[in-house]
Structure 1
Amino acid sequence: MTGDPALDPALGPARDAGLDPAADPAPRRAPTPRAQRRDRLAALLVEARQGDRDALDAIVAELTPVLWHTARNQGLSRQAAEDVIQTTWLTLLRHLHAISVPGALIEWLVTTARREAWRVSRASRKDDLPGDDTFDDLPDPVLTPDELLVDDERRRALWHAVESLPKRCAELLRIIAFVPRPHYDAVAAALNMPLGSIGPTRGRCFAKLRLLLAKDPDWSS
């Protein structure tokens, strides 16, 4: 080494190739929103292990919808699904330090909820319950944890877009979303709108909603 990079023959090839040996390496890609969410939940789990109740509450608030869909996808009733979710959270409390990789929190919770849902479903049919290892070999036609996250992200994006619409549109779409075949007389009465304006307003609101969703990466991805 000569002490002068310009005179150092060892740096000749790099210099000749147009590379700056002192330059920083190529920047890494920014993590995706899904990866950021996993990292955030992993950090919350670490904080919960240290006794932070707020961190645990945040985990429960964010992932309860994912567990709800996991339980309901197994064909359970609303009450049975609520019991499964409660059992899943109690199981997490008992095994808070048993998850060796905090980033695997979502998979751990989904697997626990599915196994409990299978147990409840089989018990309701008064069948003999198999051992835990039997569940590992059962075919699973429902969403994977990653697919559940995507589904949850799209649902959040949808309702965020709905809330971003003008008040009348948001009110109308909220009613339509929860009624399979909305009766326009009832909708008009609920929103104090002329009956004949429901259909055209509905169409305009859906058009605005599609435009908002098209710009949202959590929806379009």
Structure 2
Amino acid sequence: MNAPDTNAPTHDLVIETLRPLLAAEVRAELPAAAEPHDLEQAVWVRLLEHLGTEGPPTDPAAWLSATVRSEARRQRRTTFRELPYVTEPAADTAESDPERRAIARERAGALHAAVRRLPGRCPRLIGALLSPKDLTYREIAGELGISQGSLGPERSRCLGCLRRIMVSEVAPTSGRGKG
């Protein structure tokens, strides 16, 4: 077990003294789009490591400035090298599973078949909402020749009809809790 730290009040004083300076240094070092909290946290960790091994820095302001610059460079290099996933890894594994792909195709087929059985202009409206083009309400309203204001209520009515069709197709054959 480690001996109690007799320098704890000194360490707290160093941290409280450096807090406003750290915030200012981070704002000056990072571009506006970057996340300042990550950089601040990295510098605090480096300070705690320094306090544990060497004690308080002899020139805390200079040490802080140098550390902020060093950590900011490290974060920029890391950000430059890291590439975001195009899709989530879990989604990738689901797509590689033939059984899951078959079930997804079957569900999509059942949905599109139910959409085709909707009344009035509901098939076109729901089809536009499901479109891979990701149309805006304005584009859908223009495509269907209706006002944008009536699109929401009509969408709700169409989704209600679709819900009733889908529920009737997948309704349980036995009572709830009976197997």
TM-score between the two structures when normalised by the length of structure 1: 0.32
Higher alpha-carbon Rg? 2
TM-score between the two structures when normalised by the length of structure 2: 0.39
